[in-house]
Amino acid sequence: MAGFLFDDMIFGPVKSRRLGKSLGINLLPTHSKACSYNCIYCECGWTGNRRGMNIELPLRADISAALEEALIRLKDTEMQPDSLTFAGNGEPTMHPEFEGIIEDTIKLRNALIPSAKVSVLSNGSMLHKPAVFASLMKVDNNIQKLDGGREETIRLINMPLKAFRLAEYVETLKRFGHNLIIQSLFLRGKLGDRIVDNTTREEVHAWLNLVTDINPAYVMIYAIERETPAGNLVRIGRDELEAIAKQVRDAGIEAEVYA
Ligand code: SF4
């Protein structure tokens, strides 16, 4: 099975296509993945942990101490991070101390490397929790997933492990106002005997309608970068992604392609 896992709480800085020099903060277990989704393109591989299984998450105090050490070490060096990025082996907002961890991170960033942005890459599955929503309102780059414009397409690509209602999700995203970046990955291929393709004219049209309705600060459009757990997926080329980005820009919303 394909799968690339981070083996530390704090990793990098890595050169990110989207965020520059990015110091990663992994709130999930090291050496295994924990997520509320099971995306067919996930770099970490298939989601193995299910509800009811015990997963060991890093403690808030340990994350804060490790982050402080890294920021002191990297400050004023050529590796000084542009972004402190919550990403890693799954969905960061699942951590029960997410709110406090964001508070600690903002404090440390302000004290040590004020130019660094605090970024969260999320699938949006925990936005119903008021503390998660409020914390995301405080970060610089609140990056939420939208990989299709139809519920059926999202179910096929992202495989949410709990109930998912696209209309509710869109309404929740709208509550962020402009404090929101949408990330969308485009792909096509086969999953078993089912065709999966969010690049058709109809699919892009449906997605664009939602993006326009949500009206985020901007949209990150990207393609598969590493090996995917589902075989038979095609990496979409830059020209095709640029054509999608142009439609977003024509609708009056900024868009950037990362491919
Ligand atoms: S939401 Fe992110 S971590 Fe979770 S399965 Fe999808 S790509 Fe992987």
Report whether 257 contacts 245 (CB < 8 A). Answer: yes
Q: Which of 1, 91, 143, 162 to mutate to test the pocket of ligand 1 (most atoms within 8 A of CB)?
A: 91
Mean pLDDT for the stretch of residues 157-184: 97
What's the pLDDT at 259? 86
Q: Is the pLDDT of residue 51 over 80?
A: no
**Cβ neighbourhood burial of 66 (10 Å; 0-12, 13-18, 19+):** middle
CA of 207 to the centre of ligand 1 (A): 19
What's the pLDDT at 72? 98
Nearest to 135 by CA among 82, 182, 88, 92: 92
Q: pLDDT per residue over 214-245, tens digit each?
A: 999 999 999 999 899 998 999 999 999 999 99
Q: Is the pLDDT of residue 2 over 50?
A: no
What's the pLDDT at 254? 98
Report whether 166 contacts 136 (CB < 8 A). Answer: no
Q: Is the pLDDT of residue 18 over 90?
A: no
Mean pLDDT for the stretch of residues 6-23: 91
Nearest ligand 1 atom to alpha carbon 125? 1
Nearest ligand 1 atom to alpha carbon 90? 3
Q: Is the pLDDT of residue 1 over 50?
A: no
Place of tokens 């086969």: 190
Q: Which of 5, 6, 158 to mutate to test the pocket of ligand 1 (most atoms within 8 A of CB)?
A: 158
Q: pLDDT per residue over 73-125, tens digit each?
A: 999 999 999 999 999 899 999 999 999 999 999 999 999 999 999 999 999 99
Query: 154: Cβ below 6 Å to ligand 1?
Result: no
Report whether 89 contacts 9 (CB < 8 A). Answer: no
**What confidence tier does 53 reach under pLDDT thresholds 50, 70, 90?**
low
- Give me 113's structure tokens: 């490397």
**pTM for this entry:** 0.95
What's the pLDDT at 52? 46
Residue-wise burial string across 4-16, b where 16 or more C-beta atoms lie within 10 A, e elsewhere? ebbeebbbbbeeb
Query: 35: Cβ below 6 Å to ligand 1?
Result: yes
Q: CA-to-CA distance for 218 and 179, rounded, in angstroms? A: 10
Query: 93: Cβ below 6 Å to ligand 1?
Result: no
What's the pLDDT at 50? 55
Closest residue CA from atom 6 of ligand 1: 39
> Domains in the chain, start-ordered, CATH in brackets?
10-258 (3.20.20.70)
Q: CA-to-CA distance for 228 and 234, rounded, in angstroms? A: 10
- Average model confidence (pLDDT) across the chain: 94
User: Which of the two residues, 137 and 2, has the higher pLDDT score?
Assistant: 137
Nearest ligand 1 atom to alpha carbon 47? 5
Q: CA-to-CA distance for 4 and 32, rounded, in angstroms? A: 10
Nearest to 146 by CA among 178, 163, 171, 128: 171
Mean pLDDT for the stretch of residues 45-54: 68
Dihedral over alpha carbons 130, 89, 142, 188 (to 10 degrees) = -110
Closest residue CA from atom 8 of ligand 1: 42
Query: Pairing relation of β-strands 194-197 and 187-191?
Result: antiparallel
**What confidence tier does 150 reach under pLDDT thresholds 50, 70, 90?**
very high
User: Which of the two residues, 33 and 197, has the higher pLDDT score?
Assistant: 197
Query: 135: Cβ below 6 Å to ligand 1?
Result: no
Nearest to 141 by CA among 102, 174, 113: 102
What's the pLDDT at 5? 77
Strand order in the sheet with 181-185: 10-16, 20-26, 83-87, 117-122, 141-145, 181-185, 218-222, 254-258
Place of tokens 């981070």: 6
Place of tokens 């960061």: 92
Q: Is the pLDDT of residue 209 over 90?
A: yes
% of residues, the chain, pLDDT over 70: 97
